[in-house]
Amino acid sequence: MKSIVILISGRGSNMEAILGSALPLEIRAVISNRPDAKGLDIAKKLGVHTIAMDHTAHASREAFDEALAKQIDALKPDYIVLAGFMRILSEPFIRRFAKRIVNIHPSLLPAFPGLHTHKAAIDAGVKIHGATVHFVTPKLDYGPIISQAAVRVTPDDTEDSLAARVLAAEHQLYPQVLRWLAEGRVDLKPSGVVQITGLNVRSERRAQLLLVPME
């Protein structure tokens, strides 16, 4: 059975969705860079090992990342899952765990990298918005895309209403991608393109883009 560690910074709603999905994965630990993160309490109640590593106790970003890397090395997970981890990881950390770090981003990458993605989507007038699970590379929000979930943008959407629908889609998308990883179905080609194996053509297309119906 493959194993993961989950990195969070706050409440960890995606973490909670993952832990509640009965995935064929061993959760080695939930780690937070903020000791007061509510997600740590949620994980503890679910019987998951938790670790608090206060990033402010380290002299630099690089020093924290090195301490975090050593902690992860001791846990020996197959994958590192970023679930609301509000830190930009340094390039040495990412290269140390190359092709093993996955992240979820609240937009249909490569559109709207960075912060405030829902406002950017509304301001741009796009009709489809969503979330992306991707492998992490040193270039921010740019790694190989594993799968995406799309939601429609309505004329009366606010930043908050759109964010809520995208978050609900994330809670479906992230556990599904982790299930594929657990089953060894995620094939990262040398070209940087990801394919989900072991599915028929129609399922493959559906796997790469989950269209979430409107309520």
**What residues are annotated to the active site?**
105
The C-alpha atoms of residue 192 and residue 42 are separated, in whole angstroms, by 35
Among 55, 54, 150, 56, CA closest to 108 = 150
How many residues appear in the chain?
215
C-beta pairs of 203-210 under 8 Å, 24+ apart in sequence:
207/147, 207/176, 207/180, 208/147, 208/148, 209/147, 209/148, 209/149, 209/150, 210/147, 210/148, 210/149, 210/150, 210/169, 210/172, 210/173, 210/176
State both tokens at 32: 């937070």
Among 164, 180, 209, 171, CA closest to 13 = 171
> 137's torsion region: left (phi>0), alpha (psi -120 to 50) or beta?
beta
- How many other C-beta atoms can be found within 10 angstroms of the C-beta atom of residue 88? 11
